[in-house]
Amino acid sequence: MPNGILLALIAYASYSCSDAVIKSLGGQFTVFEIGFFTTLFAGCFLFFTRPAGERWRDFWRTRRPWAVQARAWAGIASGVLSVYAFTTIPLAEVYALIFLAPLFVTILSTVILKEKVGPWRWLAVVAGFAGVMLVVRPGFRELHLGHLAAFAIAFLAATSVILMRSLAQQEKRTTMLGVLIGYGLVFNGLGAAATSFTVPDAKQLVWLVMAGAFTACGQLLQLLAAKYAPANRIAPTHYSQIVWAVVLGSLFFQEYPDMLTLVGLAVLGASGLLTMVREEVRLGTVRWNPFARTRL
């Protein structure tokens, strides 16, 4: 197995572990406090991943400040909503709804970027929504606010990707990441202070550090993976999180998916892969890369 793909698989395993740790903290802290500490500790680790030729103190220098801030706020909102979703509904159902993001990118790209979308990609959109319906089964199973939160995350992630497309050639990575971390700390910090702030004990602090460390590890490994493999080879590894959702949910949270859920997850994964294949056929590359995480 090529080094880049292996690193990408480990990166998404790290992200999934972070999400599982966050889920385990549900009920002990507010979503804002979990978001604050996760962002804080992830930021501490990510401080050492500065690209060559960039300086953290220049993160506030932007060429398109409104677009950068819009992308940051989309990331912050999806981060808060993800904490809520992971702590209220099963992991597999959260991932199923979040994986609607590439399908939303297809839809938004036709509206905002005026891209032409062929029948195969529209088929992938329909199949993806069908897969989610098999997992969530509205009308047959009780829906919670966590499902709505996860659905909103997918839309916000797609919005972030569209913004990142337009910013990628103009803004530095330290700018994109620095603004996201800075705003995340302020927003979650104010939210935690205004609600019910709980001082974590030693054990809880360890878990919070682990959540941030897993996130930072995933970010670092995805950067390393990009050096060893092209985006069109790395991108499909994103869907390994479907497997991790089933494994971690079963092992630690007694969340055992039934056959319809497994079929729905498989259909959703296939629709996402079809979207990327058609993108590569059309452009010769994968321009939307689900490997790019849009939240901390």
- Dihedral sign (CA 236, 85, 17, 45): positive
pLDDT of amino acid 8: 85
Above 70 in pLDDT, residue 229? yes
Phi and psi angles of residue 138, each rounded to the nearest 5 degrees, phi first: -65, 140
Q: Where are the alpha helices (DSSP H) in 195-294?
A: 202-228, 231-234, 240-253, 259-283
pLDDT of amino acid 64: 83
pLDDT of amino acid 290: 45
pLDDT band at 232 (very low <50, low <70, confident <90, very high): low
Above 70 in pLDDT, residue 288? no
Q: What is the mean pLDDT of residues 96-106?
A: 82
pLDDT of amino acid 146: 94
Q: What is the mean pLDDT of residues 271-279?
A: 72
pLDDT of amino acid 143: 86
- Dihedral sign (CA 277, 283, 286, 287): negative
Above 50 in pLDDT, residue 23? yes
Q: What is the mean pLDDT of residues 55-66?
A: 76
Top-confidence residue, 57 or 46: 46
Q: What is the pTM of this model?
A: 0.86
Give the whole-angstrom CA distance, residue 85 versus residue 234: 26
Q: What is the pLDDT of residues 65-90, one digit of tens each?
A: 888 888 889 889 999 999 999 999 99
Top-confidence residue, 13 or 288: 13
| Residue 292, number of CB atoms within 10 A of its CB | 17
